[in-house]
Amino acid sequence: MKIIDFIESKQNSGSHLLLTTDSYAIFGNEQFDDLVRLGQHKLRSAPVSLYKYGRRVEVSVDELQSLFQKVISLRNTGAYAFFTIYADDVRRIKQSIKKLEATHLRIWSIGQKVCVTVFDCRDFESRNRIGRKNSLKMNYIEIDTSLVKVFSTTLNSESIKKIPTNDWNLRVGVNGVTEIKPFSDSDSYLIRDQRLIEPVTFFDSASVGQKISFQFHPN
């Protein structure tokens, strides 16, 4: 593949493409600027270079190499959790995002399980809530895992939409960066925690034998 074809094939993945001799990083645009896609290429004699929407930007090689190292260093951190979300659950999450027009999803631990909550953060603003018509909707699923510490991370829905639907391996870093690696893909996707929590609490009630959720009303 020629460099020009390679750059064109990656144009929908983000605004900026950083190319090194054997790897690349694509930075999301304004809608998903919390996302970086990392991959390797087999282009012959690729120069260390930066492209903005397909056009080369003049930046020194040293600066670009230092930027690439910074991106790579985001992965060099301990993790709260490492687990798999299977393709059918990934599909459900994406369908929920579409149906609820959700802005975010929060992934958090409950014991040895991981819960994913899909929500629209605009619904929680008091000025947006007018009576019962604007009832608050959220979807959530639980996933069995084997190795997790207590954690919570909130991801931007727009970024999630950019990741191919397949089985995902997720690594939730203690630095607030989650690495998602789809099985089908050799690329990794790094997403930054948005530090938002929906004002809802869940618990299993032993006395009622049901799952209970409470929403904290803004008023």
Which residue's CB is nearer to another protein, number 24 or number 51?
A: 24
Residue type (1 letter), 21: T
Is residue 179 classed as helix, strand or coil in its secondary structure? strand
HSE on the CB side for 149, CA within 13 Å?
A: 8
Query: How far lies 116's CA from each of 109, 194, 206, in Å?
Result: 9, 15, 22
Q: Are 93 and 141 in contact (CB under 8 A)?
A: yes
Q: Which of 5, 88, 125, 142 binds another protein (CB under 8 A)?
A: 88
Q: Could you tell me how many residues of this chain bind another protein (CB under 8 A)? A: 23
Which residue's CB is nearer to another protein, number 23 or number 31?
A: 23
Q: Are 67 and 18 in contact (CB under 8 A)?
A: yes
Q: Interface with another protein by CB under 8 A: which range of 7-15, 20-28, 86-94, 130-138? A: 86-94
Q: Which of 19, 26, 64, 81 binds another protein (CB under 8 A)?
A: 81
24 binds another protein (CB under 8 A): no
CB of 25 to another protein, least distance (A): 15
Q: Which of 10, 37, 94, 171 binds another protein (CB under 8 A)?
A: 171
Which residue's CB is nearer to another protein, number 8 or number 63?
A: 8
N-terminal to C-terminal alpha carbon distance within the chain:
58
What is the per-residue binding string for another protein in 114-153, x denoting contact by CB under 8 A? Answer: ------------------------------xxxx-x----
Residues 6+ apart with CB under 8 A from 161: 94, 97
Give dist(CA 22, CA 42) in Å, integer.
6
Question: What is the length of the chain?
Answer: 219
71 binds another protein (CB under 8 A): no
Residues that bind another protein (CB under 8 A): 75-84, 86-88, 144-147, 149, 166-167, 169, 171, 183
